[in-house]
Amino acid sequence: MTILTRKLLRDIWRARGQSFAIAMLVCAGTSEYVGVASVQRNLQLTRDEYYADCRMANFFISLARAPRSVADDLREIPGVRNVQGRIVKDVNLGIEGYEESRTGRIISLPDVRAPVINDIVLITGRYFEHRSTSEIILSHAFATANKLKIGDTITASINNRQHTLHIVGTGMSPEYVYMIRSAQELIPNPDRFGVLWVSQTFAEQSFAMQGACNDFVGTVERPAEIDRILNTASSVLAPYGVFAKTNRKDQTSSFFLANEIRVLGIATAIIPPIFMGVTALVLVVLLNRMVRHERTQIGVMKAFGYSDASVAAHYVWFALVLGLAGCLAGYFGGVLVVKWVMQIYIRVFQFPTFRMDIYPIIMLQSAVLTMVCAAAGAFGAARQAARIEPAIAIRAEAPKYSRRIFLERFNLIWGSLSFSSKMIARNMARYKFRAVFTLSGVAMSTAMLLMGWFLMDAVNYMIDFQFSQTQLEDVRVLLNGEQGKDTYHDLQRLSDVKAVEPVLQYPFEARTNWRKKEIAIVGIPAQSTLWRLIDTQGNRVEIDKHDFVLDERLAEQLGVQPGDELVLKPLMGRVPKERRVHVTKIVKQYLGMGSYMEIEALSRVLDEPFAMNTALIRSEWQRARELDKGLRDVAAIASVRIKEDSHANLKKSLGESMRAVNVIILGFAAAIAFAIIYNSTIVSLTERHRELAALRVMGYLPSEVGRLIYNENLLLSAIGFVVGIPLGIGLCGLIVMAYENDLFRLPFKIGLRAYALTILTTFCFVTVANLAARRKILQLDMVEALKMRD
């Protein structure tokens, strides 16, 4: 080991607190990058392999009913690889021991196992053996959540008949990785919704659909051509009434999965650069001080014949060694992050197997990034070291001539300052760069903290807004298809029902002169008390026969304002008769993107006097659960949702993941605040060694000297905080944009609570970093400090 290497290691050891802080920063950045980037790749590869192995469909077309043989016609469309017809229907399920209703989605599979599109993976049990019998394979999550095993039975009402179904296996499908019934639900609810795979023969018999199907799935040669293929397919299928044609990227499960992968990508793109930047900054401060401090040593080494390059390299190595140490620790951290985050995903996404890998290429990338940043941080110091002239360096350093600072021109203010305030003011002026550095570190950490606290509040606000301001029913009932007034009256007569409101939701294609979008229009009663619309100012919006109301975001996407005209074309197998409507009002909505009309007006658009497919029910006080049980026997009902449960479920799962995000952000903010404040405090201590020792000699207590430094930091932190708040607001805006998708938008509202918590946590971090540095003040050796020449 060369002497310089030995010196290097001792230098690192001597500055171990600071070295540790730097290595920790690198470690945090590396763990995050390696961890999250690996998770992203794992998720992506797991998905891609799963999709490939099970032949995930590229498109989905649902319709009323078509002969199975139409699949042959669809296969003729150029670019189509394969098409298969199947029966897909939602039914009400009953499970022994549970009283609430459950929704099962029945999907037909061939009687004999074949390599179908959207094939399933059997997790337990076996495939169907006896054709035409009521054997089912249950989606694994649903079976687990309801403690159902092979051999158990469940009942389903199919076409007004109760069937007893026998569970022979549990499985998973690429179509239901994110297992929700419809996109509006946002969060899987595995005990209330499951998929039941049944044999084709059984499905045809029980639904009376012999030789027919109501769903086509297909694969294509080139996904880029999918729109053209879907259009051709629609015209082929026109006689059978197409309900919906869906590209794989818009398929619910696929969409959520892709969104998650996208958000992970954003996380890997934003956070590591912040860390690397901060690391480089900390190195700049630390190493510049070191070079200044070791000026004479450097001069001596050069006088003895060490070259400029070898001396400069010494300081670059210092940075590289710390970077390397942080990187290595970061890899282990990355492994933990992968384990931890994948654990969350395993609960959320239904994959038969999960990749849990760490990728060498990602490690390499992060190592290269770290080394480049470390070297960049050391560059200035190294250049300074190279430029030191031995003849000058070995002379005693000329005292820096001190200038009057700006504040001193204001005699009144300056005169009234205490000695220690003057010292603080002079110091900040003397070490401007470090002051700016501390300040920006605090600002950065403040901004991150605000973002973390904001995210938590925003998610809660979004959910609470939805469930306490707009969605005012106790129970929401989805009906089987469209129903008339009779069903409405039937529901009103049920016990525990206080009020019922009919709702009609129907998909349309909305078109302006230059834009086109599929939207779902919701028809609600004119004086609705259970579905409340709120405008952008927070006022209640009434709806009447002539109104066409759009949510802010949808209006943005369509590029329309009140007064503008839209052309509506009904989808789902209706005769495509176009209507013109005028946008009359704009409302605010965070979950989903809505458009609203009065229910009878909407019915008339569909050429019906009155139609409903959803009912909102206000139950008697605290009777929602009893009501739910009563609803199970109503034939027209497809599924029932108790608002309280949806609310709690959404809050629990979204809240949980936001808490996890917040913990990460808090940790990062803490690491940054700590590393920066600790470092600049230590640097300032060593630089002002003699001056502080002199104060101690004069009779200052360590605590008084400490307070001098603490006050300086506090002042800088306060300024940093003030700068950090607008920065944080900007970050919040960015995150709102990053998170925004068709399903929800976070409200860009930063509450007092978030500000208060940000102040509190910033203050905590500043104090902790100061306490850590305090030890050094107590250790200040007066004799030694004053003996040294340098």
Task: Enumerate binding residues for other proteins (CB under 8 A).
Answer: 2-4, 6-7, 10-11, 14, 296-297, 299-308, 389-391, 394-396, 784, 789
- State both tokens at 261: 């992968």
Nearer of residues 1 and 224 to other proteins, judged by Cβ: 1
- 728 contacts 748 by C-beta, under 8 angstroms: no
Q: Sign of dihedral through CA atoms 6, 16, 716, 719?
A: positive
Q: Of the two residues 394 and 436, which places its CB atom closer to other proteins in the complex?
A: 394
Return the number of the residue (307 or 468) whose C-beta is nearest other proteins. Answer: 307
Q: How far is the CB of 784 from other proteins (least distance, A)?
A: 7
Nearer to other proteins by Cβ, of 145 and 394: the residue is: 394
Query: In angstroms, what is the minimal distance from the CB of 6 to other proteins?
Result: 6
Comparing CB distances to other proteins, the nearer of 392 and 764 is 392
The stretches of 349-431 forming alpha helices (DSSP H) are: 360-387, 390-393, 411-416, 419-430
What does the chain come to in residues? 790
CB 676 within 8 A of CB 441: yes
Query: What are residue 644's DSSP bridge partners?
Result: none
Q: Which is nearer to other proteins, 142 or 318 (CB)?
A: 318
Nearest distance from C-beta of residue 684 to other proteins, angstroms: 20
Q: Which is nearer to other proteins, 287 or 428 (CB)?
A: 287
Give the nearer residue to other proteins in terms of CB position, either 302 or 696: 302
User: Measured from the CB of residue 789, what is the shortest distance to other proteins in angstroms?
Assistant: 5
Shortest separation between residue 391's beta carbon and other proteins, angstroms: 4
Task: Look at phi and psi of residue 754 and say left if phi exceeds 0, alpha if psi is from -120 to 50, else beta.
Answer: alpha
CB of 317 to other proteins, least distance (A): 15
Shortest spacing between CB 395 and other proteins, in angstroms: 7
| CA proximity to 739, closest of 262, 145, 212 | 262
First to last CA, the chain: 28
Beta strand extents in 495-592 (DSSP E only): 497-511, 516-524, 533-534, 540-541, 549-551, 565-570, 579-582, 585-587
Q: How far is the CB of 396 from other proteins (least distance, A)?
A: 8
Nearer to other proteins, 308 or 608 (CB): 308
Distance CA 615, CA 618 (A): 10
Identify which of residues 394 and 636 has a Cβ nearer to other proteins in the complex: 394
Question: In Å, how far are 84, 153, 216 from 231, measured between CA atoms?
Answer: 17, 42, 14
Cβ(315)–Cβ(287) below 8 Å: yes
Shortest Å, Cβ 393 to other proteins: 9
Cβ atoms of 558 and 506 closer than 8 Å: no
Q: How many Cβ atoms sit within 10 Å of the Cβ of residue 606? A: 19
- Burial of residue 399 (CB within 10 Å: 0-12, 13-18, 19+) is exposed
- What six digits make up the tokens of 103? 């929704």
Residue 779's alpha-carbon distances to 12, 95, 267, 640, in angstroms, are 19, 71, 42, 69
Contacts of 704 (CB under 8 A, 6+ apart): 695
Nearest distance, CB of residue 790 and other proteins, angstroms:
8
| Nearest residue (CB) to other proteins, 115 versus 305 | 305
> What residue type is 578 in one-letter code?
E
Query: Which pairing describes strands 533-534 and 612-619: parallel, antiparallel, or unpaired?
Result: unpaired
Kindly tell me which of 205 and 296 has the beta carbon lying closer to other proteins. Answer: 296
CA angle 656/186/254 to nearest 5° reads: 110
The residue (of 238 and 309) whose beta carbon lies closer to other proteins is 309
- 170 Cβ contact list (under 8 Å, min separation 6): 122, 123, 124, 125, 137, 138, 139, 140, 143, 144, 150
Min separation Cβ 764 and other proteins, Å:
35
Continuous segment of H or E residues that includes residue 249: none
Is residue 263 classed exposed, middle or buried when 0-12, 13-18 and 19+ CB atoms within 10 A define those classes?
middle
Least Cβ distance, residue 329 to other proteins (angstroms): 25
Let me know: does 194 contact 77? Beta carbons within 8 Å: no
Q: At residue 72, what are phi and psi to the nearest 5 degrees?
A: -60, -40
Cβ proximity to other proteins, 129 vs 389, nearer residue: 389
d(CA 125, CA 564): 58
Question: In this complex, which beta carbon is closest to other proteins, that of residue 565 or of residue 790?
Answer: 790
Is 756 or 788 the residue whose CB approaches other proteins more closely?
Answer: 788
The burial of 607, by beta-carbon neighbours within 10 Å (0-12 exposed, 13-18 middle, 19 or more buried), is given as: exposed
Task: For 279-318, give one letter per residue: b (16+ CB within 10 A) or e.
Answer: bbbbbbbbbbbbbbebbbbbbebbeeebeeeebbbbbbbb
Q: What is the DSSP secondary-structure string of 224-243?
A: GGHHHHHHHHHHHHGGG-EE
